[in-house]
Amino acid sequence: MSPEKILKVENLVVTFPAGAGKKVHAVSDVSFELAKGETLGLVGESGCGKSTTGRAIMQLIRPAQGSVNFEGSDLTRVKGKELRRIRQGMQIIFQDPISSLNPRRRLKDIIAEPLDIWSKLESEERYDRVREMCDQVGLDFESVKDRRPHEFSGGQCQRISIARALMLSPKLLICDEPVSALDVSVQAQILNLLRVLKSKYDLSMIFIAHDLAVVKNISTSVAVMYLGRICETADSDTFYTNPAHPYTKALLESVPEPDPSLIGSEGKMRLSGELPSVIDPPSGCKFRTRCPYSQDICAIQEPELVEISAGHKVACHFPISR
């Protein structure tokens, strides 16, 4: 009996107009599931479509095709008030802590915004709820309540964003590179905060990042995206110890070692070349232009995402086996 799924994304396609009637497939045919209480790390290079996937799940960008099933309702089929009501159960935190907060509003109003939208609370109860949430995220409410976003540091802004997102007690939290814009020491604080809040509020998370070390820390499973497609997905242990897709292997080996003298330089796989353009992607396997194992078939046929062991799926004609 598999654990209950909170989110099911099926064949998600997001397109953007690229001028002259052309369309860019920012996300093509992405499917995955998220079990309750799990954290899925969504990783990939800049421009691979991971943020777009996050926003498409939230319906902030409407997907062109596919379905997003959240707790039994397909979000792509609802709109207006209905969508807003169901979507309360999921929230999103963005990368840029400053841009996430309206510069013209004060902290107390920013965090109370979800309450103001959904319920008409007495000012006292509203005040208590905001103060309580500030405690949860480590902000001293009394001393900061009247400040505006530009008076906070990046880490504090991110705490405010988290507080605002949790105000509606969501079940799913999408974190779109929440720590990429922060100092390393602050990153650790925010990640710890997220971990604590996750268990306290019983959250499931999608954690979008390009930093594999950050993802390793927090995820129970990981999915790698390349040019709008998922090329490998596995639980966290398998992913980091036994990657099967050449791209995953290259990504993992590109993580800098604190002490390079401890490991030999041989056997390291390095990626060469640039990320191909999404406007004009390569035929067949999207990764073949940079793959050291590329063969003729890779240019002809696009590999399907197939399960090679329990919970471990790879889209590659020649997966690496150990």
Shortest approach of another protein to residue 163 CB, angstroms?
A: 12
Subset of residues 83 to 122 that bind another protein, contact rule: CB under 8 A: 84-85, 87-88, 90-92, 94-96, 98-105, 113-114, 117-118
The binding track of 67-86 with respect to another protein, each residue x by CB under 8 A or -, is --------------x--xx-
DSSP state of 103: T
What Cα–Cα distance (Å) separates residue 7 from each residue in 54, 67, 73, 116, 183? 12, 10, 10, 27, 32
How many DSSP H helices and E strands does the chain contain?
11, 12
Shortest approach of another protein to residue 271 CB, angstroms?
A: 30
Residue 229 sits in the site that holds another protein (CB under 8 A): no
Output b/e per residue, 179-191; b: 16+ Cβ within 10 A: bebbeeebbebbb
**Collapsed DSSP state (helix, strand, coil) of residue 214:** helix
Could you tell me if residue 107 is left (phi over 0), alpha (psi between -120 and 50 degrees) or otherwise beta?
alpha
The alpha carbon of residue 70 and the mean position of all alpha carbons in its chain are separated, in whole angstroms, by 16
Interface segment toward another protein; rule CB under 8 A; list 25-33, 37-45, 164-172, 251-259: 164-172
Nearer to another protein, 105 or 216 (CB): 105
**Single residue of 78, 144, 168, 299 touching another protein by CB under 8 A:** 168
The binding track of 197-216 with respect to another protein, each residue x by CB under 8 A or -, is --------------------
Shortest approach of another protein to residue 185 CB, angstroms?
A: 15
**Single residue of 11, 23, 60, 62 touching another protein by CB under 8 A:** 60
Nearer to another protein, 103 or 260 (CB): 103
**Single residue of 46, 120, 150, 270 touching another protein by CB under 8 A:** 150
CA pair distance 262, 17, nearest whole angstrom: 48
CA angle 163, 132, 173 (to 5 degrees): 30
**Collapsed DSSP state (helix, strand, coil) of residue 132:** helix
**Single residue of 37, 47, 138, 154 touching another protein by CB under 8 A:** 154
145: which 2 tokens? 């309540």
Binding site for another protein (CB under 8 A): 55, 58, 60, 81, 84-85, 87-88, 90-92, 94-96, 98-105, 113-114, 117-118, 149-150, 153-154, 161, 164-165, 167-168, 181
